[in-house]
């Protein structure tokens, strides 16, 4: 089996995700083959820039997917291993380059996440968008909370404050988000 390495991005801008429509009219996440010696994070950023003209930053690793298939052209099995990254658009206006290659019907655009879930053909890509969007929102909320140095009751501080229900808490005090609690350790869950 011939192994090929790819890198891709789940690129968000607010409540929108970057998708492209391929030659078969299928909506999918942007990804591309890695160059020899290239690391996956660099390849993901490069591919997004090449395909869309959008500058991005990686904010988290989303994981890996493997896609195995037999090539009728090459008469051998292939495995495409893709490393995925949750990325954020650095272009506030999300102006995507309108690059039309010869004989290409490819098209890219930012689409609302809810709409994207209906457009995407691949189950893997839908799962990646769903899970990555949750993580993206969590990271954005934590960033906002750290910037404000305050937490609302509906944020992570609730877990810390609810650990001891007999204590009273002043909700106006600052919340330290740097403390993470391991529930398995704290409550010896078996």
Q: Rounded mean pLDDT of 117-144?
A: 93
Residue 43: helix, strand or coil by DSSP?
helix
Q: Does any domain span residue 173?
A: no
Residue 177: helix, strand or coil by DSSP?
coil
Instruction: Give the pLDDT confidence score for residue 145 in this predicted structure.
Output: 75
Would the pLDDT of 109 be above 50?
yes
Q: Does any domain span residue 82?
A: yes
Would the pLDDT of 40 be above 90?
yes
Higher pLDDT, 145 or 27: 27
Higher pLDDT, 168 or 55: 55
Considering its fold, how many domains does the chain have in total?
1
Q: What is the pLDDT of residues 75-84, one digit of tens each?
A: 888 888 999 9
User: CA–CA separation, 100 vs 136, rounded Å?
Assistant: 30
Domain limits for position 113: 2-147
Q: Does any domain span residue 38?
A: yes
CATH number at residue 81: 3.90.79.10
Q: Does any domain span residue 141?
A: yes
Q: Does any domain span residue 164?
A: no
Give this prediction's pTM.
Answer: 0.70
Q: What is the pLDDT of residues 151-183, one digit of tens each?
A: 544 444 444 444 444 444 444 444 443 444 343
Give the model's confidence band at 147: pLDDT under 50 very low, under 70 low, under 90 confident, else very high. low
145-174 burial: b if 16+ Cβ within 10 Å, else e: beeeeebeeeebbeebbeeeeeeeeeeeee
Instruction: Give the pLDDT confidence score for residue 110 in this predicted structure.
Output: 92
H/E stretch holding 185: helix 183-187
Q: Does any domain span residue 15?
A: yes
Q: Does any domain span residue 50?
A: yes
């Amino acid at each position: 089996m011939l192994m090929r390495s790819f890198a891709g991005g789940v690129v968000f801008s607010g409540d929108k995700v970057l998708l492209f429509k391929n030659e078969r009219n299928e909506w999918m996440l942007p990804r591309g083959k890695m160059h020899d010696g290239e690391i996956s994070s660099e390849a993901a950023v490069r591919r997004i820039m090449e395909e869309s003209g959008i500058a991005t930053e990686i904010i988290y690793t989303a994981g890996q997917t493997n896609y195995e298939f037999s090539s009728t052209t090459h008469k051998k099995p292939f495995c495409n291993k893709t490393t995925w990254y949750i990325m954020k658009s650095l272009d506030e206006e999300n102006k995507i380059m309108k690059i039309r290659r010869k004989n290409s019907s490819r098209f890219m655009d930012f689409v609302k996440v809810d709409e994207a879930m209906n457009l995407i053909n691949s189950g893997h890509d839908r799962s990646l968008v769903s899970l990555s969007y949750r993580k993206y929102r969590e990271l954005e909320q934590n960033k906002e909370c750290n910037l404000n140095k305050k937490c609302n009751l509906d944020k992570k501080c609730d877990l810390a404050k609810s650990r001891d229900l007999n204590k009273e808490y002043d909700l106006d005090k600052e919340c330290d988000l740097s403390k993470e609690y391991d529930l398995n350790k704290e409550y010896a869950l078996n």
